[in-house]
A and B are shown apart, each in its own frame.
Chain A
Amino acid sequence: MMSRETIVNIGLALILLAIPFIAMQVGSPFYVTLATRMAILALAAVGLNLVLGLGGLVSFGHAAFFGVGGYAAGILASHAFSMQPLDLGFASVAGTNSMLAIWLVAMLAAGLLALFIGAISLRTSGVYFIMITLAFAQMTYYFAISWPAYGGEDGLSIFVRNQFPGINTMVPLSFFLLCYGVLMSVLVLFALIARSRFGTALQAARQNDVRVASVGIAPFRIRLAAFVISGMITALAGALYADLNRFVSPSMLSWHMSGEFIVLIILGGVARLFGPVAGAMMFVMVEYLLGGMTDRWQFFLGLALLAVVLFARGGLIGFLAGKARHG
């Protein structure tokens, strides 16, 4: 028998899939872009949900990985466009406009960055962890601003959306389906991880890390691995986001972005498989509707968020599907 949460999840997946098709039917292609934005932000938040939801680690620095993914796409594409190889000092690499290659580079770069940030910040916990992840993300932000080679403060344009084999990515609906496919694949991965030995150890470390250590599993290594995987997923979302906007700028690295990812998870439901999806759908919708009504929409977003934190914990999935159950 399917649990209520599974039914809610399937419903959400179908609604997200349906939005762009309905949009095409009624002749409002703009909603295709909106749905793509939902899928990409959801993907970024799924990455964060791995450490925040399963691991209980409040990373306030995931914008760093999102931005690294975005810049990987932007930088490689700009080198492909200008046909100038990318000089790394020890080697020189040709640019590329193949999404697969870009995703690989984005995830590798973000994985290395996550390894560095995680190795330092995971030695601490609680408020320290929050502030240190925030500080390191800010470091990448200031670096992007002060490094002029790729646009500095002004950002970097991607003139032609990068290519994926067999798909015309310039067609909005095709690009949406690609992003949707990536999101669903990563959700499957997330569900597998949550039930695996690794996921068990990660969740147990959230509940009681002394217990985990005293059965002989070092929580640090589990958390570090989760942090790296999480950063890689968010970087993948960053690469897609850069392709969606055909533009990447330091704002992708800003701490508002990190805050937004956390907000998505809270709105949807912490540690719930589809929490980030529900959260991103709501957030993008509210942003769009409020933004259409008033320039001051962030003010009302703040009020709404405050109300959710103070009075409505559990998020949308919690509201629709009840409390989480563990095996």
Chain B
Amino acid sequence: MAEPVLSIRNLCKSFGALKATEDVSIDLYPGEIHALIGPNGAGKSTLIHQIAGTLKADSGEIVFLGDRLNDLSVAERARRGLGRSFQVSSLATEFSALRNVMLAVQSVQGSSFRFFRPVTSDASLTEPARAALARVGLEDRANVPAAELSHGERRQLEIAIALALGSKAFLLDEPMAGMGPEGSKALTGFLSELRRQAPILLIEHDMDAVFALADRISVLVYGRVIATGTVDEIRTNPEVRRAYLGDE
């Protein structure tokens, strides 16, 4: 088997007495969608925060493309190719969709310490940004401020930003949340394609989407991974059924 792109080893994180992440190990291999499921409060978002760097892990290792990430800043991890979408959309709301993506393009191109050239007439920024918007189907909404985009459009914009970053792995935190059935279907098709560009660690509540997309699934309950396996293995795993689906 190929080397994992992202490897989480024995990660632990506590908030006081609450163990939010307990000895979690997950590998993400090239070309796969690895879904992370679990009931509310299982610690899925806390885990994503630790991988992206917005929270610091207490112990354990996060290894990405062979490098240990634990002590790097959010910005540094992003520069190394970790693309992230947020559970609650996190955008520069006054900027247009295009300018939100351009910010990612400018980061990829290197320095933000350029003081004079206007960004709006800089084709090296606008062209890749428009291309990323087009890939998620937002090209018609390029000049609309992010604050005025619909909920679903903001999720698409988040993915366009991750695309523009040329990320080498995607961390997607509930990309389907709040989307109508049409939007979910379109996004499912899109994510299925996206995995060829870079593997995806997907947190999702929409089980239809998870079962349709995931190559492998890890089940997180009370901060612990109770099972990892293919869709069929997880469906039939008695421990998962008991803990997650409430079967007795």
Contacts and interface: CB of A to CB of B under 8 A. Distances in A.
Interface of A: 192-193, 195-201, 203-204, 207-208, 210-219, 222, 225, 326-327
21 contacts: A196-B116, A196-B119, A197-B113, A197-B114, A198-B113, A198-B115, A203-B94, A208-B90, A210-B74, A210-B90, A211-B100, A211-B103, A213-B75, A214-B52, A214-B75, A214-B84, A214-B86, A215-B103, A216-B165, A217-B75, A218-B75
Contacts of A215: 78, 103-104, 107, 161, 165
Given A211-B100, A218-B73, 18 more contacts: A196-B118, A197-B113, A197-B125, A198-B113, A198-B114, A200-B106, A201-B112, A207-B95, A210-B86, A212-B75, A213-B74, A214-B54, A216-B78, A217-B106, A218-B76, A326-B95, A326-B96, A327-B120
A210 B92 contact: no
B4 interface: no
A57 B71 CA distance: 27
Contacts of A225: 113
Contacts of A327: 95-96, 99, 119-120
Contacts of B103: 200-201, 204, 211-212, 215, 217
The CB with the most chain A CB atoms within 10 A, among B74, B86, B113, B114, is that of B74
Interface of B: 52-54, 73-76, 78-79, 84, 86, 90-96, 99-100, 102-104, 106-108, 111-120, 125, 145, 161, 165
Nearest to B101: A215
B119 A213 contact: no
Nearest to A204: B92
A225 B93 CA distance: 23
A212 to B, nearest CB: 7
Contacts of A213: 53, 73-75, 78
A212 B108 CA distance: 12
Contacts of A326: 94-96, 99, 145
Nearest to B171: A214
A212 B106 CA distance: 11
A198 B102 CA distance: 12
A116 B76 CA distance: 24
B94 A197 contact: no
B94 to A, nearest CB: 5
B107 A207 contact: no
Q: Which of A192, A204, A225 has the most CB of B within 10 A?
A: A204
Contacts of A204: 92, 95, 100, 103
A207 B96 CA distance: 12
A195 B96 CA distance: 14
B119 A211 contact: no
A207 B147 CA distance: 11
Instruction: Name which of B86, B100, B115 has the most chain A CB atoms within 10 A of its CB.
Output: B115
Closest CB pairs A-B (n = 3): A216-B78, A216-B79, A213-B74
Nearest to A201: B112
A198 B114 CA distance: 5
A208 B154 CA distance: 14
Nearest to B73: A218
Contacts of B102: 200
A125 B92 CA distance: 18
Contacts of A193: 115-116
B26 to A, nearest CB: 20
Contacts of B165: 215-216
B52 A197 contact: no
B154 to A, nearest CB: 12
A259 B22 CA distance: 50
A81 to B, nearest CB: 37
Contacts of A197: 106, 111-114, 117, 119, 125
Contact of A203 (B95, B96, B116, B161): B95
B116 to A, nearest CB: 5
Contacts of A217: 75, 103, 106-107, 112
B116 A192 contact: yes
A169 B125 CA distance: 45
Contacts of A199: 115
A197 B116 CA distance: 8
B75 A216 contact: yes
Nearest to B165: A215
A195 B84 CA distance: 26
B29 to A, nearest CB: 23
